[in-house]
A and B are shown apart, each in its own frame.
Chain A
Amino acid sequence: MILQALNDYYERLRADPDQEVSDFGFSYEKLSFSLVLSEHGAVIQVRDLRRFEGRRVFPRPAVVPKLPKERSGKNAPSYFMWDKSKYVLGCELDNDGKEDYYKNQFYSFAEVHHEILDANKDVGAKALLSFIDQRIFGQIPEWATKDLLSTGFIAFELDGENGFLHERQEIKDSWQIYLRENQSEVRGQCLITGKKYCPIPRSHPQMKNVHGAQSSGAALVSFNAPAFGSYGKGISNLNAPASEQAAFAYTTALNTLLASGSRRKVQIGDATVVFWTDVPVAAEDFFGLAVGGKESEDQNMTKEIEQHLRAVVKGHYPHELGKRDTAFYVLGLSPNAARLSVRFWYVGTVGTMAENIGAHYKALSLQRSFENDPEYPRPWWLLKELAPQRDSRHIPPLLAGQFVRAIVHNQLYPRTLLTTVMGRIRADKQVNYLRACIIKAYLTRNARKEIAMGLDKENTDIGYRLGRLFAIVEYIQNDAVPGANATVRDRFFGAAAATPRRIFPVILKNAQHGLAKIRKEKPGWAVTLDKSLQDILASVEPQKGFPATMPLEKQGMFVLGYYHQRQDLYTKHEDKTEE
């Protein structure tokens, strides 16, 4: 399903002339240096392929020959036509700048190239082989710079010719022959294509650019410890037979989606989310910005997205997104040790995806506190509210993935969403727009409560009423004792929400003192406040009184009532500015 879809996507990319994906047996890798060889194998020039931007270094991506399986182990064979200096020169500098020599790697480089190129009559092949034969183990040529010896991959060029050596047709042909001869000998049915008697590789290429995973790559399909194998298949990928071709295709497609700068990738919490459609449509940009967090640098784009969001929230389908029934795939990945785990997987159409996103933003919609509060808060901003110190590194793992899954599947939000946000409010006593939005969305979708955008005086929910009451009490205190060290919110907010019967009598008594003070200065205003208190209290059933405890959903209503009432208090009377 996931792998099949990725395999199909690879075929689609191959068919699209605007897209560059590598052929079977080749891969995009980042090269740092190129050695320009003379016909006799002498190094004429060392070309630095890297691009520098301030302190950051960008090696040049290029297509190079690579077997469709991962190199692993201590004495792994060399790559063909490119590799690190460890292989090319048999020497690498360690972190302290000391020279480390690698004998096996040094000879492996020669062995691999002699095996593949000995029969080749090409000038380039001859030049490379003579270069190899001229190397002496343990000796570092004078042209080898420190950078060359410590970082990055090295490729080759022929003096006076354009392009890399491995781009020469004769060398490519030799490589193809080698590929064919080096197919895996294990045969079986491929679980991606269903074809029988395919060569099954023992390992698959790895995925790069998943946030938090090892930079050298992590595997989606791997069995890297004895306990993971079954049926005597050990720790190899024979546990999951995928043909060489299909394994190459799905990894290449996924790596293309994950490539840095890809517009089909967003980072949400610890989950890296990639998405793609059957045909390229504007929906991909829309999804990226609606579910992702990063603002588009392009102002027009942002505007357009907001417009689309407005439409989908109202239940309309913006036709700019492309055909409604275009298939749409979303894959959420997160790293776990050297592996990738699938957080969620969604197959749908662009139409339902737009509907689901619309439903989510509709559930969120709430009166804003400030002009610059976002009308459509992105998941990323909401998730940050759930983390201590609003540090994205502290976003609870699992939660981010579950949250986004709830959005794309239009399912119930995870319950931890409510417990976490209430926990944060209890900890730092801040009730802001984004947090109120989260609670509102949760209560509308999961608890099926009808909640208005702004203050709803008809709402008789006890939690909501008490929240409003608390807001007024706080307002009175603030008015009577401006600049108090510890406000009633600092001291009582969490307890008032959880155990009203214990707290409210106390704070109401204090509020009466506050009112008495206000009455001396602004008698009219005191009457208004007192009346609002009475109004709200009137609906608290006298025989029951204040509830002894309130469950979490009611506490959520408490927060919303508080938020709404406070909005109301501060917006109607504009002469009173907040705090």
Chain B
Amino acid sequence: MAQGVQLRVWGDYACFTRPEMKVERVSYDVMTPSAARGILEAIYWKPAIRWVIDRIHVMKPIRFDNVRRNEVESKIPIKGATGVNAAMKDGKTPLRLNVEDSRQQRAAMVLRDVEYIIEAHFEYTNGEDKNDGKHLEMFNRRASKGQCFHRPYLGCREFAAFFEPVQGQIPESLLSGERDLGWMLYDIDYQEDMAPIFFRPIMKNGIIDCRNHKAVAK
């Protein structure tokens, strides 16, 4: 594929949160396509292109761990006298959240020691800036130099992802056999009131094929 890239990502922890267990977080077994898209976009993206995830290779056995973290339960409001809008208007109102009042301890079941290889390609969103070689080269150059717009992460911002491009053949995964992963988040449909879209991947020998599901994400 002329527009295809291969990227290896890895990290000590990852949490691809299941929406149904988002408060007391429980991770999906593997990386979701939207998380993979996020990583690629962190390294290289332009309005003219759109990343589409083809396959995700799960390179290491799936292991879970539990952590507990202190977080907050409230957001700084947008409207109102103490909100963001008021602060922007007069430039003086302080924006603050008192941690003591809104501290919440949340448990999480996260993945340990993960490694994935993402196979993806890009498509054009409109007629402008159509130049396969340019985008591909820019992505690969940036990825091999370790450049990124913002730090790519494995599901949650605090779990940073390390990355490098994969040259040539993709090595075989440590996993074998077939595994039904259940219904899994594919992506969010931003045009339909941000409705989540789910798909049902089957992992074969560590490889998840997302190509049959791409029609939905816009």
Do they bind each other? yes
Q: How far is the CB of A434 from chain B (nearest CB, A)?
A: 24
Contacts of A230 in B (CB 8 A): 22
Q: Tell me if A231 is interfacial: C-beta within 8 Å of chain B.
A: yes
Bound form: Cα–Cα A397–B68 in Å: 10
- Is the pair B194, A232 in contact by a Cβ cutoff of 8 Å? yes
- Is the pair A225, B74 in contact by a Cβ cutoff of 8 Å? yes
- Is the pair B183, A194 in contact by a Cβ cutoff of 8 Å? yes
Selected from B23, B63, B75, B194, the residue in CB contact (under 8 A) with A222 is B23
**Cβ < 8 Å to A, chain B residues 6-64:** 18-24, 26, 28-29, 63-64
Contacts of B104 in A (CB 8 A): 225, 227, 337
Contacts of A222 in B (CB 8 A): 23
**Cβ < 8 Å to B, chain A residues 43-57:** none
- Is the pair B74, A226 in contact by a Cβ cutoff of 8 Å? yes
Instruction: Known A189-B196, A336-B105; judge A228-B19 contact (CB<8 A).
Output: no
Closest to B195 in A: A188
Q: Tell me if A339 is interfacial: C-beta within 8 Å of chain B.
A: yes
**Cβ < 8 Å to B, chain A residues 1-33:** 1-4
Which of the candidate stretches A147-155, A235-243, A417-425, A559-567 sits at the interface with the other chain? A235-243
Bound form: Cα–Cα A224–B188 in Å: 22
Q: Tell me if B182 is interfacial: C-beta within 8 Å of chain A.
A: yes
- Is the pair A231, B188 in contact by a Cβ cutoff of 8 Å? yes
Q: How far is the CB of A230 from chain B (nearest CB, A)?
A: 7
Contacts of B64 in A (CB 8 A): 344-345, 405
Closest to A220 in B: B21
Q: Tell me if B200 is interfacial: C-beta within 8 Å of chain A.
A: yes
Bound form: Cα–Cα A231–B195 in Å: 9
Q: How far is the CB of B99 from chain A (nearest CB, A)?
A: 12
Bound form: Cα–Cα A233–B195 in Å: 10
Contacts of A225 in B (CB 8 A): 73-74, 102, 104
Bound form: Cα–Cα A402–B195 in Å: 35
Contacts of A397 in B (CB 8 A): 68
Closest to B107 in A: A341
Sorting the interface of chain A by its residue count into under 10, 10 to 19, 20 to 34 or 35 or more gives 35 or more
Q: How far is the CB of B188 from chain A (nearest CB, A)?
A: 7
Q: Tell me if B88 is interfacial: C-beta within 8 Å of chain A.
A: no
- Is the pair B197, A189 in contact by a Cβ cutoff of 8 Å? yes
- Is the pair B200, A194 in contact by a Cβ cutoff of 8 Å? yes
- Is the pair A240, B73 in contact by a Cβ cutoff of 8 Å? no
Contacts of A427 in B (CB 8 A): none
**Cβ < 8 Å to B, chain A residues 81-108:** none
- Is the pair A340, B24 in contact by a Cβ cutoff of 8 Å? yes
- Is the pair A2, B26 in contact by a Cβ cutoff of 8 Å? yes
Q: Tell me if B96 is interfacial: C-beta within 8 Å of chain A.
A: no
- Is the pair B24, A239 in contact by a Cβ cutoff of 8 Å? no
Contacts of A233 in B (CB 8 A): 194
- Is the pair B21, A221 in contact by a Cβ cutoff of 8 Å? yes
Contacts of A405 in B (CB 8 A): 64, 66
Q: Tell me if A411 is interfacial: C-beta within 8 Å of chain B.
A: yes
What is the size, in residues, of chain B's interface with A at 8 Å between Cβ atoms? Answer: 36
Cβ proximity bits A340-369 to B, threshold 8 Å, 1 near / 0 not:
111111000000000000000000000000
Bound form: Cα–Cα A189–B181 in Å: 17
Bound form: Cα–Cα A252–B4 in Å: 46
Q: How far is the CB of B197 from chain A (nearest CB, A)?
A: 7
Q: Tell me if A223 is interfacial: C-beta within 8 Å of chain B.
A: yes
Bound form: Cα–Cα A411–B185 in Å: 28
Instruction: Known A2-B26, A240-B22, A401-B66; judge A342-B109 contact (CB<8 A).
Output: yes
Instruction: Known A225-B104, A231-B194, A402-B66; judge A240-B24 contact (CB<8 A).
Output: no
Q: How far is the CB of B52 from chain A (nearest CB, A)?
A: 20
- Is the pair B109, A344 in contact by a Cβ cutoff of 8 Å? yes
Contacts of A188 in B (CB 8 A): 195-196
Cβ proximity bits A377-419 to B, threshold 8 Å, 1 near / 0 not:
0000000000000000000011001100100000100000000
Bound form: Cα–Cα A402–B188 in Å: 33
Bound form: Cα–Cα A223–B185 in Å: 18
Closest to B186 in A: A189
**Cβ < 8 Å to A, chain B residues 64-88:** 64, 66, 68, 71-75
Contacts of B188 in A (CB 8 A): 231
Contacts of B29 in A (CB 8 A): 1
Contacts of B26 in A (CB 8 A): 2, 342, 345
- Is the pair B20, A221 in contact by a Cβ cutoff of 8 Å? yes
Contacts of B195 in A (CB 8 A): 188-189, 241
**Cβ < 8 Å to A, chain B residues 159-218:** 181-183, 185, 188, 194-198, 200
- Is the pair A242, B20 in contact by a Cβ cutoff of 8 Å? yes
Q: How far is the CB of A263 from chain B (nearest CB, A)?
A: 26
Q: Tell me if A334 is interfacial: C-beta within 8 Å of chain B.
A: yes
- Is the pair A189, B198 in contact by a Cβ cutoff of 8 Å? yes
Q: Tell me if A274 is interfacial: C-beta within 8 Å of chain B.
A: no
Q: Tell me if A191 is interfacial: C-beta within 8 Å of chain B.
A: yes
Q: How far is the CB of A218 from chain B (nearest CB, A)?
A: 10
- Is the pair A228, B20 in contact by a Cβ cutoff of 8 Å? no
Bound form: Cα–Cα A386–B67 in Å: 20
Q: Tell me if B145 is interfacial: C-beta within 8 Å of chain A.
A: no
- Is the pair A223, B107 in contact by a Cβ cutoff of 8 Å? no
Contacts of A339 in B (CB 8 A): 23-24
Bound form: Cα–Cα A220–B197 in Å: 21
Listed residue (B20, B21, B64) with the most chain A CB atoms within 10 angstroms of its CB: B20
- Is the pair B19, A239 in contact by a Cβ cutoff of 8 Å? yes
Closest to A241 in B: B196
Q: Tell me if B106 is interfacial: C-beta within 8 Å of chain A.
A: yes
Instruction: Known A227-B74, A341-B107; judge A336-B22 contact (CB<8 A).
Output: no
Q: Tell me if A127 is interfacial: C-beta within 8 Å of chain B.
A: no
- Is the pair A226, B66 in contact by a Cβ cutoff of 8 Å? no
Q: Tell me if A441 is interfacial: C-beta within 8 Å of chain B.
A: no
Closest to B21 in A: A342
- Is the pair A343, B66 in contact by a Cβ cutoff of 8 Å? yes
Bound form: Cα–Cα A220–B109 in Å: 14
- Is the pair B73, A227 in contact by a Cβ cutoff of 8 Å? yes
Bound form: Cα–Cα A221–B24 in Å: 9
Can you identify 6 A-B contacts, CB atoms within 8 angstroms? Answer: A1-B29, A336-B106, A336-B107, A337-B105, A340-B24, A344-B64
Contacts A1-B29, A398-B66 supplied; 4 other A-B pairs, CB < 8 Å:
A2-B26, A189-B197, A194-B200, A240-B18
Taking Cβ atoms with an 8 Å cutoff, the residues of B that contact A are: 18-24, 26, 28-29, 63-64, 66, 68, 71-75, 102, 104-107, 109, 181-183, 185, 188, 194-198, 200
Taking Cβ atoms with an 8 Å cutoff, the residues of A that contact B are: 1-4, 188-189, 191-194, 220-228, 230-233, 239-242, 334, 336-337, 339-345, 397-398, 401-402, 405, 411
Q: Which 3 residue pairs of A and B lie closest in terms of their CB atoms, listed nearest first?
A: A341-B24, A225-B73, A341-B107
